[in-house]
A and B are shown apart, each in its own frame.
Chain A
Amino acid sequence: SAVISQKPSRDICQRGTSLTIQCQVDSQVTMMFWYRQQPGQSLTLIATANQGSEATYESGFVIDKFPISRPNLTFSTLTVSNMSPEDSSIYLCSARGGQETQYFGPGTRLLVL
């Protein structure tokens, strides 16, 4: 299994600002992903973080709003840009392990005022 950590664990931000979330995996992984989750609800995939190339975004998510970096096989960042209250959510990083498994970080709880 993979152990995933995220920083910060939570933050309160002002609208119009940006926040960068870091995700660290304790082993090299081929695939990393970023999800968004409203409290008490399910997860929605934002994008696949590709090592050495641009991230692949899902419908409804764009690079200008959610720029993603993945400089190596163990680390990725997600930036939430020009935030509005609608961006208040839990942001989760995940990594694909072997045998079709996927592991999640503890999440970053974001509140935008």
Chain B
Amino acid sequence: TQLLEQSPQFLSIQEGENLTVYCNSSSVFSSLQWYRQEPGEGPVLLVTVVTGGEVKKLKRLTFQFGDARKDSSLHITAAQPGDTGLYLCAANAGGTSYGKLTFGQGTILTVHP
């Protein structure tokens, strides 16, 4: 079973601060996705990274896929209360597990005004 270690599990910060969430594994993945989920809703896809070393930006969010495709990070600049939610990384192992996602434990982010 491939495991994704996501950290930190909880993050409570003030508006305007920066933060980084990490997602690490000993396994190589064909792709990795980041989701954001709000209470009462399903996870919403933020980004998919496929290429080792890839960096993608979505407004104040920066996503990076490690060179070896074993780890990823999500960096939020100048966090806002609207960023509050559960952030999940999920990886696609490919091969015989094609299409199946393994999820990290999740990071509950709270941004205080």
Chain A contact residues, CB within 8 Å of chain B: 1, 4, 31, 33, 40-45, 48, 59, 92, 94, 96, 99-107, 109
Contact = CB atoms under 8 A, between A and B. Distances in A.
Contacts of A1: 45
B25 interface: no
B45 A48 contact: no
A42 B105 contact: yes
Interface residues of B, number: 27
Q: Quick one: which of B30, B35, B99 has the most chain A CB within 10 A?
A: B99
A94 B92 CA distance: 14
13 contacts: A41-B105, A41-B106, A42-B103, A42-B106, A43-B43, A45-B100, A48-B99, A102-B90, A102-B92, A102-B101, A104-B35, A104-B43, A106-B40
B48 A99 contact: yes
Interface of B: 1, 6, 30-31, 33, 35, 40-45, 48, 50, 86, 88, 90, 92, 99-106, 108
A40 B43 CA distance: 12
B99 A96 contact: yes
A101 to B, nearest CB: 5
A33 B42 contact: no
A90 B85 CA distance: 17
Given A42-B88, A42-B103, A100-B92, 7 more contacts: A1-B45, A31-B99, A40-B108, A42-B105, A45-B101, A106-B41, A107-B42
Contacts of B100: 33, 45, 48
A96 B90 CA distance: 13
